[in-house]
């Protein structure tokens, strides 16, 4: 009996230490350097499983303003009750998915919401637009000394469409989230800069930041994720944004010291994002 009690106490201590570690890593104003994050066979298998998921539950649609048009796929909660509203998660794709097939944008960040545990624990609408051209372009800001991102008219169309969408569906306007990888991470930064009133939280993964509206983003929870070995989008832009926002804003930074651009989306990160997003609310 005594042995069982000691074993239980030991496991309880380990659990508390783990929870404390996660809490510290997700505390605003902190930068966490993560080392030794080489993906295990289990992690690689989980990511492969997410990639293989059937995305037919994402229904096709198109936004248009008479001049530009933007195709998208949208996932709805499994059960929708008229009296209940659900979050909307907007997912921006990287440059490799540019096109009009309305399929290529369905990557890990979109398909992760199809996982049975996420469907059950985090019922939500998930909007995955596909941009026919680059959704964000970069240029060097000589004053800041880092690349900065800027968007185009297709993002403007999307943001206006989200307003219409949220008025006509059971969408909780206090819980509209945005996330993206690479060019999509940059577009995430563009989106919250253009409409700081719209989003409850944002995750910019391996993107380039926009800096011209920072003072209006102090109340927006922002999670920046980057690999130190990233040579496609060097981490300097996101690091600069973090440094400028950490004192007044609600920003945190995860820097994977041994990750590159294309291996940043690990099972550890994918499993952490839903809970973090759903803890944020306007």
| Dist. CA 256–CA 258, nearest whole Å | 6
What's the pLDDT at 37?
64
pLDDT in the model for residue 161: 97
User: What average pLDDT does the segment 157-178 reach?
Assistant: 94
The pLDDT score that the predictor gives to residue 8 is 38
* Tokens representing residue 29 in the block: 């104003």
What pLDDT score was predicted for residue 168?
78
Read off the pLDDT of residues 63-95 as tens digits, 9 standing for 90 and up. Answer: 999 999 999 999 999 988 778 899 999 999 999
* pLDDT tens-digit readout, 19-57: 444 444 557 889 999 987 678 899 999 999 999 999 999
The pLDDT-based confidence of 5 (bands split at 50, 70, 90) is very low
| pLDDT above 90 as % of the chain | 83
3-class DSSP assignment, residue 18: helix
The CA distance from 245 to 214, in Å, is 7
pLDDT at site 2: 46
Contact 214, 244 (CB under 8 A): yes
C-alpha angle 109/114/120, rounded to 5°?
A: 120
Lowest-confidence pick of 2-6, 40-44, 139-143, 217-221: 2-6
- Please enumerate in sequence order all residues whose Cβ is within 8 A of that of 20, keeping only pairs 6 or more positions apart, or say none: none
Residue written as token pair 């041994």: 258
Tell whether the model's pLDDT for residue 110 goes beyond 50. Answer: yes
Tokens of 235: 């981490």
Domains along the chain?
A: 30-278 (3.40.50.1820)
DSSP H or E segment with residue 267 = helix 267-278
Q: Of 10-24, 39-53, 167-181, 245-259, which range is least confident?
A: 10-24
DSSP labels for 104-173? TT--HHHHGGGSHHHHHHS--EEEEEE-SS-SEEEEEETTTTEEEEEE-HHHHHHHHHHHHHHHHTTEEE
What is the average pLDDT score of the chain?
91
**Alpha carbon distance 52, 146 (integer Å):** 37
Q: How far apart are CA 150 and CA 136, in angstroms?
A: 5
């Amino acid at each position: 009996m005594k042995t069982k009690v000691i074993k239980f106490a030991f496991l309880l201590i380990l659990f508390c230490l783990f929870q404390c570690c996660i809490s510290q890593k997700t505390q605003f104003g902190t930068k966490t350097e993560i080392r030794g994050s080489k993906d295990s066979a289990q992690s690689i298998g989980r990511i492969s499983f997410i990639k293989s998921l059937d995305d037919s539950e994402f229904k096709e649609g198109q936004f248009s303003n008479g001049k530009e048009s933007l195709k998208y796929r949208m996932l709805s909660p499994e059960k929708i009750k008229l009296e209940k509203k659900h979050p909307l998660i907007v997912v921006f794709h990287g440059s490799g998915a540019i096109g009009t097939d309305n399929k290529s944008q369905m990557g890990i960040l979109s398909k992760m919401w199809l996982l049975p545990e996420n469907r059950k624990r985090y019922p939500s609408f998930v909007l995955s637009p596909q941009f026919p051209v680059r959704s964000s372009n970069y240029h060097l800001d000589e004053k800041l000394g880092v690349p900065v991102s800027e968007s185009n008219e297709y993002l403007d169309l999307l943001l206006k469409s989200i307003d219409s969408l949220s008025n006509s569906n059971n969408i909780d306007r206090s819980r509209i989230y945005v996330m993206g990888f690479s060019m999509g991470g940059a577009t995430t930064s563009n989106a919250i800069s253009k409409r700081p009133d719209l989003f409850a939280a944002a995750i910019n993964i391996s993107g380039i930041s926009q800096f011209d509206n920072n003072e209006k983003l102090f109340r927006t929870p922002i999670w920046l994720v980057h690999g130190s070995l990233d040579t496609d989008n060097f981490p300097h832009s996101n690091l600069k944004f973090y440094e400028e926002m950490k004192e007044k804003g609600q920003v945190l930074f995860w820097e994977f010291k041994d990750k590159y651009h294309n291996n940043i989306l690990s099972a550890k990160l994918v499993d952490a994002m839903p809970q973090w997003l759903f803890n944020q609310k306007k």
